[in-house]
Amino acid sequence: MAFARGVRKIVKNYPIKYNPEQVIVDGEMADWVFAAGVDLLVEVGLYNRDTQRVIQFTKDEVLQIARDVWESPRQVSFGKGTDEVTIKYRTHEDPRPPTIWMGSNGMPSTEELYIPYMQSFIQEELAEGCSGPAILSSYQGVENKVGTPGEVYCNLAEVRLTQEAARRAGKPDIYIGQTSATSVGGLMSLCYPGVLERYNTTIAIHMMPEQKLDWTRLTLALACEERGLIPWTSAISLIGALCRGPEESAITLVANLLGQLGYGHGKLATSGVATLAGTLSTPDAFWAVTAAARASEQHIGIPLGSASQAVSGAGTDMALFEKTAQTITYVASGAGWLWYAGCRLGRGNNPTTGLEARLVGETAHAVAGMKAAEANELILKIYALYGDQLKSAPEGKSFGELYDVKKVQPTAEYMDVYKRAKDQLAKLGVPFKK
């Protein structure tokens, strides 16, 4: 309740107002959102659920956190050898495309389809890393249950199977992301040579919405710092809960990011919002994430990224439209990297495919450098294609129905859907490269 009261009070102190017709905010709005986010972190702090106490910051401390990042190299490298890639800070009209990580982070997979499923992402030409192994709910009859040996057993399988998929895709040393482990012991038991290392993983230290943490977040942050691992810093907010609207979520994202950087000292970060229905594909979500991202672009400078997640199912035009609108929003907000999650809000096994991830990469490369006004107009045009379907989105199909799993290639029917959607998007103004 202290958070809810604080964010409601602070947002009134600034001329921060959601405009559904301008989802890519201007620099002045970004300045206000940053200032309000600083005030929110100072006013409310971070709540430790284990101690039931508040971690407090002074305004000077918060501004120093931002300065420390701004004065740092503002880039970080992952992978090794020919698979090494450097993620760099971008501005909203930077002609350099963001780094693309493709994978199924947080999406479940069956055991028998795991390798071809992950290979479908990693083999994509624009994939410079994997945004994370799919989740195994069990492996060889052992349940993936937090805090038990099964958590370690199944997560080790997630890593090994993803590494095999990467080898088959010809990218053996890429970043492979995070496993589904959540306990400190489960995560740290996987961090040794040949499994999770500095070059191929990040460790999740991010908070729960809104501005809540526990000892596990701080323990993992310390472990990362002592062992030279990069923490996964991820600022997330929910529109319609403690944050009533996109204005409150935007300033919360800034406060959340600064708070995590204060204890985690990350080198890159993600930022994202969702409505209570789970969607990332609405103008209010676009506005909130771009307001916070542009605030970071102008005042923090960390390489910031966001995920693409569709309400609709794979194999549908709508899923491709949702991801395109999200991708343009992120790139036009200064995203330095993008990661791909999936379809159908993650429901069901193997709910997405590498082909949707391909569109994210192709869109990002196409619109890098686009003027904010042009990007804004394009996003709204694409939203008009699917907005009225969000409450009754098509279920689509699963990976096994959309790919020839032996060849790990999309079916002809699926390619027809992809080409049709791309043609429609191109006619609206997405300048896909030939």
Q: What is the DSSP letter of 345?
A: G
**Above pLDDT 90, what percent of the chain?**
96
The C-alpha torsion from 396 through 399 and 405 to 411, rounded to 10°, is 30
pLDDT in tens, 323-368: 999 999 999 999 999 998 889 988 999 999 999 999 999 999 999 9
Task: Specify if 118 maps to a domain.
Answer: yes
What does the block give as tokens for 110? 């069956």
Range of the domain at 359: 75-428
Task: Specify if 68 maps to a domain.
Answer: no
Whole-angstrom Cα distance, residue 235 to residue 259?
9
Whole-angstrom Cα distance, residue 135 to residue 114?
9
Domain of residue 99, CATH code: 3.20.20.460
Task: Specify if 225 maps to a domain.
Answer: yes
Whole-angstrom Cα distance, residue 188 to residue 185?
5
Residue 165 has pLDDT above 90, yes or no: yes
Task: Specify if 392 maps to a domain.
Answer: yes
Residue 395 has pLDDT above 90, yes or no: yes
What does the block give as tokens for 323? 């991801």
pLDDT of residue 206: 94
Task: Specify if 9 maps to a domain.
Answer: no
Centre a 10 Å sphere on the Cβ of residue 19 and count the other Cβ atoms it contains.
Answer: 11
Whole-angstrom Cα distance, residue 128 to residue 82?
10
Per the structure, how many domains does the chain have? 1
Residue 304 has pLDDT above 90, yes or no: yes
pLDDT band of 380, cuts 50, 70, 90: very high
Task: Specify if 182 maps to a domain.
Answer: yes
Task: Specify if 40 maps to a domain.
Answer: no
Q: Cα separations (Å) of 264 from 114, 218, 268?
A: 32, 8, 11
Instruction: Give the up-direction half-sphere exposure of residue 351: CA atoms within 13 A in the CB hemisphere.
Output: 23
Whole-angstrom Cα distance, residue 208 to residue 306?
17
Task: Specify if 21 maps to a domain.
Answer: no
Q: What is the DSSP letter of 313?
A: P
pLDDT of residue 130: 96
State mean pLDDT over 268-274.
94
Whole-angstrom Cα distance, residue 328 to residue 338?
11
pLDDT of residue 192: 95
State mean pLDDT over 161-188.
96
State mean pLDDT over 294-317.
96
Those residues with Cβ within 8 angstroms of residue 135's Cβ, 6 or more apart along the chain or in another chain? 106, 107, 108, 109, 144, 158, 180
pLDDT in tens, 101-154: 999 888 999 999 999 999 999 999 999 999 999 999 999 999 999 999 999 999
Whole-angstrom Cα distance, residue 23 to residue 380?
8
Q: Which helix (H) or strand (E) holds 30?
A: helix 27-44
pLDDT of residue 155: 97
What does the block give as tokens for 256? 């959340």
pLDDT of residue 139: 97
pLDDT in tens, 50-109: 999 999 999 999 999 999 999 999 999 999 999 999 999 999 999 999 999 999 888 999
